[in-house]
Amino acid sequence: MGQRTPFTRMGTCLGLVILMGVAGCTTDGPGPSGQAANRQPEPAYSPEGSWYPAEEYDSSPEQPFVHAAQTPLSTFSADVDTASYSNLRRQLRMGQAPVGVRIEELVNYFDYGYRAPGPDDAHPFSVTTEVAAAPWNNEHQLAMIGVQATRAIPTTEGNNIVFLLDVSGSMDSPDKLPLLKDSFSLLVDGLGPKDVVSIVTYAGSDRVVADSVRGSDHGRIKAILGDLTAGGTTAGAKGLTTAYELARKNFITGGNNRVILATDGDFNVGPSSDAEMLSLIEEQRGSGVYISVLGFGMGNLKDSKMETIADHGNGNYAYIDTLAEAKKVLVDEFDSTMFVVAQDLKLQVEFNPDVVSQYRLIGYNNRVLDDEDFADDTKDAGDVGAGHSVTAFYEIVPVSAKPSGDYMTVSVRYKKPGQQTSQLVQASVPAAAWTATPSEDFRFASAVAEFGLVASESQYQGNASPSHAAQQAKEALGRDPYRLRAEFVELVGQYSQIAG
C-alpha cells in the first residue's frame, strides 16, 4: 500500500460541486504538521443544496507518540458512547466527507466476543488483551485492550424515566421530531408496571405533558408522544431544570432514575451559562439522577455540547439517524444504558520500556486524564452498563521484533454503583500476548480503527487506506446477525466513492 494523500475539505467540496452543483464550501484541511487544525464548526451538506455552518464538534488534538522510558503511564476514562459512528453514517449517506470523527466511538459501536465475567468472579468485568502487527505500519505493533462488563442484569425496583424532548421549530423535519416520536415509542413498548414515565417538552418555554405515568400504560404514553408538534424557539435550560425536578419527585430508591434528553443539538442554555448548566447536571448526578442524550437530525447538530452533557451526567450519548438505530439504542441496548455495573471506570497502562520504545493511544482524545487522576476517587469518569464493552488500541513501536518481557500492565479502577471508594484490578500483558494470527475480533476492530485514522485525517495514519480497511473487515465479519459489520464495509465503500 502506498502513502495516502490526505483527503482535504477542499477536495470534498469540489467533488460535491461537480456532483450536486453546490457552492459555498470551506477549505479547512490539515494544518502545517499534517494534523487537522483546530477549526471553527464545519459545515454539513444539506440535500436542499445549502451548507450549514452551525454543526459543532470537539476539536481535541489527537494523542502523539510518547517515549515509554520517559512517560511510562497512559491514563484515560472509559467511553461507551457510539454517536460518532451513526453520525458518520449519516454524513456518508448524504455524500459528505465525515467530520467530528471519534475513533473510539467507531470501534466501540460493535460487539466483540470478549469473555464476560461469571457469577463467581470478584469484579463485574473482565480484561482481555491481544497484540499483533499494526495493519497500517508493518514496523509497528497494535495492542488491543478489551473490558467486558457482566451481562447479568442487576435486580431493580424499576425505572423512573423523564423524557426531555425538544419540540422547537428546528425539529420540524422528518429526521427529527417524527423520528423522535417513533423512537421513543419503541422504548415505551419495553416498559412495565414497575416503571414510571414523565415527559417534559421545551421550545419557547417548557411544559410538563406527562407526570408519573405507569410504564405499562403504553397506549397513553404513545398518544402523548403522537400529539407532539414542533414550533417556537429553543430554550432548554428551564426544561432541564423541570425534568430534574420531576425525576427527584418520582425518585425510585433502588431503581434507575434517569433523564433522557432528545434534541437536534441546538440546546440553548437560555439565561444560564454552560458552566451553570454543567454544575446543575453534576449536582443531580450526585443525587442519583443521571442523564443520557440522543441526537437527531442535521444542520445545527451541537455534537460537542451533547457529548459534554452526557459525560458530566453519568450517561451516554447516541445519535439516532434511522429507526433501526433507535431500536439498537433504545431496545437492544436499553439494559446496557439503564443498568450501570461499574461507575467512574478509568484505565491506566504502564508500558515496559525494555519492550516498548514508543506508544500512542488511538482515539479517546477528550478522555485523557492526568496520571494522578487515576487514584483520585473524586475524579469523574465513564460508567459501564451491563453487557457493555470498552475497547482501546495502542500503537506501539517495539524495541525489538521479538519481545522477551511483559509489554505493559493494565490497571482498571472502578466503583460499584452507589459506592464512593474505588477498587483496583490489574492485568499484565506478557510477551505471549503477541500473535502472528490475530483473532477475528482483533482484525475487524483494527480495520475500524484503520478507517477511523483515514476518516479523521490523522497525521499518524501511515499506510492506512479505505480499501485495505474494507478488505480486512470483510475477511473478519464472523457472526453478524444484524449486518452491522457488513454495513461498515459498505460505508467504507461509500467513503471511497466520495474521496475518489
Give residue for cell 487506506: 465
Side-chain half-sphere exposure of 200, counting CA atoms within 13 A: 24
Could you tell me if 351 and 359 are in contact, meaning their C-beta atoms sit under 8 angstroms apart?
yes
Task: Identify the pLDDT of residue 13.
Answer: 36
pLDDT digits (tens, 9 = 90+) for 340-349: 999 999 999 9
What is the predicted pLDDT for the residue at 29?
34
In a domain, 2, yes or no: no
Tell me, yes or no, whether 199 and 344 share the same domain. no
Residues 306 and 208 in one domain: yes
Residues 18, 104: one domain?
yes
Count of CB atoms within 10 A of residue 69's CB?
A: 14
Tell how far CA 157 is from the center of its chain.
28
Phi, psi of 139 (to 5 degrees): -85, -10
Q: How many other CB atoms are found less than 10 A from the CB of residue 459?
A: 17
**Same domain for 470 and 388?**
no
Res 265: pLDDT: 74
> Which amino acid is located at 353 in the chain?
P
* 427 contacts 114 by C-beta, under 8 angstroms: no
Q: 233 lies in which domain range?
A: 159-338
Asked if residue 474 and residue 398 are part of one domain, the reply reads no
Same domain, 200 and 249: yes
CATH code for position 265: 3.40.50.410
Residues 487 and 88: beta-carbon distance below 8 Å = no
Mean pLDDT for all residues in the chain: 87
Please classify residue 417 by burial: count the beta carbons closer than 10 Å to its beta carbon, then call 0-12 exposed, 13-18 middle and 19+ buried: middle
CA distance 106 to 289: 28
Place of cell 505493559: 408
User: How many whole angstroms separate alpha carbon 272 and alpha carbon 426?
Assistant: 43
Considering the domain boundaries, does residue 330 fall inside one? yes
Assigned domain for 70 exists: no
The answer to whether residue 113 is domain-embedded is: no
To the question of pTM greater than 0.75 for the whole model, the response is yes
What pLDDT, on the 0 to 100 scale, is given for residue 225?
A: 97
Q: Cell for 344?
A: 467512574
Q: Where are the alpha helices (DSSP H) in 268-322?
A: 274-287, 303-312
pLDDT at residue 24, as a whole number: 32
Per-residue pLDDT, 272: 57
334: its cell numbers? 436499553
Whether residues 312 and 457 share a domain: the answer is: no
Instruction: Let me know if 272 is exposed, middle or buried by CB neighbors in 10 A (0-12, 13-18, 19+).
Output: middle
344 lies in the same domain as 197: no
Considering the domain architecture, whether residues 262 and 307 belong to the same structural domain is answered as yes
**d(C-alpha 346, C-alpha 78), whole Å:** 6
Mean pLDDT of successive 10-residue segments in the chain (500 residues)? 36 33 33 34 37 75 97 96 95 93 97 92 96 96 97 88 93 93 97 97 89 97 96 76 95 94 75 74 90 89 87 93 95 88 96 97 97 96 94 96 91 94 97 95 98 97 97 96 97 93
| Cell 467511553, located at residue | 79
